Amino acid sequence: MTRRVLNLGCGNDTYGDVRVDATKTKTTTHVFDLNKPFPLKSNSFDEIYCKSVLEHIKNLGIFSDECYRVLKKGGKIWIRTDYAGFLLAHIWNKHEPNRALDINYAAGSFGHSQKHNLMEDHHYMLFAKSHLKHLFGKFKQHKFSYFYAGSNFIEKFVFRIMPKKLGACHIEMEALK
């Protein structure tokens, strides 16, 4: 039996057999708003993959409920989102409601390669482990890890040795239904 993978906010990513985004791209198979109920069958996916999307969602309750609904029992959800403890995000003050984040940070060293449309693309929230655990509380066996920024060895080393994960720009959560 073939595993079905749902990629939410796919952009140009080819991972998954059902790839969703708010606008049509070269790789998108479905276009719809992730702030509203998903036009997908319940219990129809073995895995949900969601990279750098959660911070763009206005209605997190609907999003979480819909992820739970479309995932099969025993299915896995994997999410990577912006980490609230990332020190540079606070210094640059880039995460404000109604203000878009240019995550390219001029040097392009923080994982994203494209600048965002300032009128349409907003980052609404930063997340910590407790936020994700609460938001995805219906899921079980939550596992968390952190993704560290840096374009070279020295930057990566400095970010990793900062106390309390202050150098982690993203938090990753994996959980089961």
pLDDT at 59: 94
AA identity, residue 94: K
CA 128, CA 118: separation in Å to the nearest integer? Answer: 25
CATH of 5-176 among 3.40.50.300, 3.40.50.150, 2.60.40.10, 3.40.640.10: 3.40.50.150
Q: Where are the domains of the chain?
A: 5-176
Token pair of 111 as six digits? 């994982």
Q: What are the average pLDDT values for consecutive 10-residue runs of the chain, which has 177 residues?
A: 93 96 94 97 98 94 98 98 84 51 34 41 85 97 91 85 88 98
Q: What is the pTM of this model?
A: 0.82
Determine contact, residues 76/174, Cβ cutoff 8 Å: yes
- Residue 92's pLDDT is 65
Q: Which DSSP helix (H) or strand (E) runs through 87?
A: helix 87-92
Whole-number Å distance between alpha carbons of 167 and 85: 8
**What pLDDT sits at residue 164?**
82
Q: What is the pLDDT of residue 162?
A: 86
**pLDDT at site 123:** 78
